[in-house]
Amino acid sequence: MEFDLSEIAYVPTMGVRRAVATPLVTASEETLKGYGCLVDEPTTFPIEIVRWPAQGSRPIDENTGNQGGITEGLFEFWWKGGTLYARNNAVGDSYLFGWSDWPEDLPSAKPDAARERALIWRANYHPDGGQLFHPMHGESFVVPLALPGDDVTPEKFISFWCDGTRGLYIHPNIWHAAVVPFDAHAEFLDRQSRVHARVSVDFAKEFGCYLAAPMRPVERRAAIPT
């Protein structure tokens, strides 16, 4: 896969040498409570749309403020030379999400080296609606999630491992970092609010670290650490 690097939606922040590792749990109805759920029928699953907030004491009129609807399309992810790229065709954006090692060291890394973790430099949430990622070909993946709140820190993220048999839906306002596929290339059906507002956190700039998502399958169900 190729695209013009000038089209990347965000220029990555680099230059740090610290990583905060996330706990890794199996995505299930139990572990995803508060974050979202697993999905079997992606084309008919209802995507939550959040009504436009009132700006003052007067309320938004009934049956308005939530008419933007849903957009959907192919969300492509691929690893190239230790760098994780993606293109969300539903909203027309391209991304550089992270690396399998310190980005400054990648030119000297072995091209066939096993990816043990993904170092992710940013995450975001969508205040206008939920989002669904459904693997098109049974691809397994991990995705770091955190509960709502603008006081988010890297330590609040948990990586959820999905085995590729079902899709993952996340509620509005849920922080999510990159979907990290185990395969070199993965394709997902993406469905989300057409407004596509984003609120972001830059881990490298704000906390002097990357978020480290473990890249290994979970053999048995794991509970969220307490």
Percentage of the chain beyond pLDDT 70 is 91
Asked if the structure places residue 187 within a domain, the reply is yes
Instruction: Specify the pLDDT at position 39.
Output: 98
Q: Give the Cβ contact number of residue 63 at 10 Å.
A: 8
Asked if the structure places residue 59 within a domain, the reply is no
Please count the structural domains in the chain. Answer: 1
> Tell me: the pLDDT tens digits for 93-122?
999 999 999 999 997 666 656 799 999 999
Instruction: Specify the pLDDT at position 45.
Output: 98
- Domain housing 164: 5-10+18-50+65-214
Is a pLDDT exceeding 50 seen at residue 220? no
Asked if the structure places residue 55 within a domain, the reply is no
Asked if the structure places residue 56 within a domain, the reply is no
Asked if the structure places residue 219 within a domain, the reply is no
Is a pLDDT exceeding 70 seen at residue 223? no
| Domain of residue 148, CATH code | 2.60.120.480
Asked if the structure places residue 223 within a domain, the reply is no
> Tell me: the pLDDT tens digits for 130-167?
999 999 999 999 999 999 999 999 999 999 999 999 99
> Tell me: the pLDDT tens digits for 188-204?
999 999 999 999 999 99
Region 52-69: what's the mean pLDDT? 95
Query: Which region among 1-10, 37-46, 67-76, 164-173 has the lowest average model confidence (pLDDT)?
Result: 1-10
Asked if the structure places residue 225 within a domain, the reply is no
Instruction: Specify the pLDDT at position 4.
Output: 67
Asked if the structure places residue 221 within a domain, the reply is no
Please state the pTM of the whole predicted model. 0.92
> Tell me: the pLDDT tens digits for 155-164?
999 999 999 9
Instruction: Specify the pLDDT at position 112.
Output: 58
